[in-house]
Structure 1
């Protein structure tokens, strides 16, 4: 499984990289060459990495990398170990793409998955599984096991087919399962002792106590900060430095600057954003930048905010928010929890819509079905109605 992602350099620029999604690796890897291109600070380390047949390699550094999805506003920050090389070209030979039927409207995480190319990063099992979404298409046939799997990075191709010369090349990684389970249990035990599994319940309690609805039916949520961590301060310098770099890029592209300004003005007019009358010393100034995709039929320009931007103290906004079920950033939790709350609040009037929200949504994707067209139309109408009551509009069916 491979994905093409946008990776943020030290100066805020975005460059394209290629990542493998690996369900076996227990850590994440990045090539030394790609790490140098990013110009990010590397923390020294000395870690032995074991592979098949007792072959070992060594990592001498780790680096935190923020990468973005080419199709949406999704972003994720992970810590990678640097290694000289991750793999030979993947796939090892040209994949016969024309021999399989990929639905035309699917957004592939790596549109050039079939062309042998180098790999810049490898994303390990935990993060890979967290990226999986509901949705799978079976393309298997005689002689091959092949699937399309939906992820937050887009659809990925899983499996393979026989090579042109009839030979099959096997690539695998072996590990002693008992040791991995032992390590996993130890990690879970230490994690539970450190955070006390109560933080999930604390986050739920925070949501219940601090969430309100306005007169239009929309929900107003608050970020669940950890009470034991001080608020961020002195973040303005870093945010301004990133903004000046962004300003230079926008000034060099009048069309991009005009569109970026239009988005910002739209947020101000809809009260999603309020200009400050005076500067605040406390709080958190969040850096942002533009990601432009001219092939998108819906939103070509996205304004991406970076809540993982570190201060000189090494702390970011994401670092001081609770670690909730759905990852480091609380945005997915707040979105999912609000959809669940909408189902609770409006369920008495719209039982079918509420049931759909409770059972058939995965973040912002709906996957449902019925035994007749009539039932399906009813689900569509009632789901649309209940979402409208919360100020949420389904973009497409």
Structure 2
């Protein structure tokens, strides 16, 4: 394998994070709450230790603060660019994939043509999409909610923030949903295929009644 050992750096980064917690209790509470929700929703789960012979990748993680957010002030981001002992990171070995959505300028130009405009977004888009179990050893993290206890290994079960391939995986999955619903929900399909920029929807209709029907259809498809 091109990837080397990654557990040691992940453990050191966790220890640095815990030192930061000791100075900023609010950050500690929000960080722990974020990962507890992650686990409660099934987006990460305890895994058996890889051991010395195991092959995988441990993602160091850190907080990104969002002062403008009215809900969660921090988001935990996972660092797939952290180098392993071979000098390569997980991101170095991944294929990024093509862009499968229209450019933002084209979407905005079409958005201006509607009599009634509709906006929306996919909540926690990355975390709505499960990763195949065979690939989750490459999405491992080290974590403990109490620094006096032993460090535990977890697997992240969904598409992960911080991995170079994640934008492609998420948008390609969304595109597949649009393709799959073409016959039953043609208008919703068209919007999914042509009017999404990452997780944001910008589209519209000619009348309010059409907009209401569209909202019902796309909610059925993506709900």
TM-score, normalised by the number of residues in structure 2: 0.65
RMSD: 2.1
Task: Provide Cα deviations, 1:99-124, integer angstroms capped at 9, x if missing partner.
Answer: xxxxxxxxxxxxxxxxxxxxxxxxxx
**Alignment match of 1:245 (pick from 13, 16, 34):** 16
Shift of 1:232: 2.4
Task: Provide Cα deviations, 1:336-358, integer angstroms capped at 9, x if missing partner.
Answer: 11011112233332222112111
Q: Is the 8 A contact 1:286 1:305 kept in 2?
A: yes
**Alignment match of 2:211 (pick from 376, 390, 395):** 376
What SS does the aligned partner of 1:334 have?
A: helix
Q: Is the 8 A contact 1:233 1:283 kept in 2?
A: no
Shift of 1:285: 0.3
Q: Matches of residues 151-190 of structure 1 in structure 2 within 5 Å? A: none
The aligned counterpart of 2:181 is 346
The aligned counterpart of 1:330 is 165
Task: Provide Cα deviations, 1:200-254, integer angstroms capped at 9, x if missing partner.
Answer: xxxxxxxxxxxxxxxxxxxxxxxxxxxxxx2523101111111111111112222
Q: Is the 8 A contact 1:325 1:333 kept in 2?
A: yes
The aligned counterpart of 2:88 is 315
Moved more, 284-293 or 271-280: 271-280
* Distance of 1:280 and 1:333 partners within structure 2: 31
Cα distance change of structure 1 residues 353 and 280 upon mapping to structure 2, 3 Å threshold: farther
* Distance of 2:66 and 2:199 partners within structure 1: 21
- Residue 3 of structure 2 corresponds to residue 232 of structure 1: yes
Shift of 1:273: 0.8
Q: Is the 8 A contact 2:175 2:192 kept in 1?
A: yes
Of the two, which has the highest radius of gyration? 1
Q: Is the 8 A contact 1:231 1:283 kept in 2?
A: no
What SS does the aligned partner of 1:298 have?
A: coil
Return 5+ residue gaps in structure 2 as ranges: 100-162
Q: Is the 8 A contact 1:289 1:304 kept in 2?
A: yes
* Distance of 1:360 and 1:294 partners within structure 2: 29
Return 5+ residue gaps in structure 1 as ranges: 1-229, 389-397
Shift of 1:366: 1.0
* Distance of 1:292 and 1:279 partners within structure 2: 31
Aligned positions, number: 159
* Distance of 2:209 and 2:36 partners within structure 1: 42
Cα distance change of structure 1 residues 280 and 344 upon mapping to structure 2, 3 Å threshold: farther
Relative contact order, CA 8 A, sep 6+: which one is greater?
2
TM-score, normalised by the number of residues in structure 1: 0.38
The aligned counterpart of 2:27 is 256
The aligned counterpart of 2:132 is none
Shift of 1:300: 1.0
Which structure has more strand as a fraction of its residues? 1
